[in-house]
Structure 1
Amino acid sequence: AILHTTNLYPTPAHLVRLGAMQQMHEAFPDHVFGLSDHTVSNHACYAAVALGASILERHFTDHMNRTGPDIINSMDAQATKELIEGSKLIWEMRGGVKEPAVEEQVTIDFAFATVCTIKDIAQGEKFTKENIWVKRPGTGEILADKFEDILGKTARVDIAIDQQLKLENVE
């Protein structure tokens, strides 16, 4: 494993240099990489995990009231527990691509809007801002981003108020 460190006790945030950790990983891409941290909190370790680190090192003490040059940048049992739990969560959060997750569909259906009638519309009547608008839920055929495309087109059939507009109803 390759670990980046700043050998300063404690290390101030501006000297952590997580970019150096990434440079080491780029130079040795087949090696496990991580951070040997000498800051006074778990924040640098969390950031390292978010950047791909899979190994972390921090000093440990049984209580923070001890004396010594590295106690200030050590962690006690509670901070260790938080580091382990937080790192696992952050590791799970990494990766992914920018597209809706399958599990988001229920929220998408609720949060997105569909083009709906806000007045009764007669067959042959043009769609205008006075007779259609976008409303939740987004479960209809014509989502809100197509609202402008519908304006000026005509209704193929009579459509009652508060109905989600269907493509088959638009000429």
Structure 2
Amino acid sequence: MFEYITKSIIPIIIIIIITYGMIKGRKVYEWFIEGAKEGLKVCINIFPYLLAMIIAVNIFREAKLLDILNNMISPIAGVIGLPKEVIPLVLIKPLSGSGAMGILTDILKNYGPDSYIGLIASVIMGTTETIFYTVTVYFGAVQIKKVRHTVWAALLADMTAIIVSIFIVLRFLI
């Protein structure tokens, strides 16, 4: 029963909204069409920024910069208890959610989901954000050129999430 409700919650919400709009005498279909048109315009506006971000991530990977950064950061990361194996996830996650998901998948395959490394990687994946992707796409879509303190605040939030992730995993493993 619960599984049926879970799978049908979105259609139920849509039906409720359409029914409510029809009862109130609103032009539900016309508003839907207008929303779809605006959505396509947003997609067209976002596409160049998205393409630039994808190209930047691919250059980062192909140039082996990830391996170089991993070796440079691992001594510092060891001080806070971050395993060397999780550093690539920490470096890629602000750039690409799908790239981070690929790294998380590799970590879980190699070390297991219940290992210290797997648990930290999982918590970090769930608590951090794709900062540069989000800023690039959404700020670009509304033509904001100066991001001011957004990137620094987001990076600080991600660093906090990483440190707290390590603390939480250690706390619940012990």
Query: Could you state the TM-score of these two structures normalised by the residue count of structure 2?
Result: 0.24
Quick check: which one's strand share is greater? 1
Structure ranking higher on relative contact order (CA contacts 8 Å, 6+ apart): 2
Q: Bigger radius of gyration, 1 or 2? A: 1
Quick check: which one's helix share is greater? 2
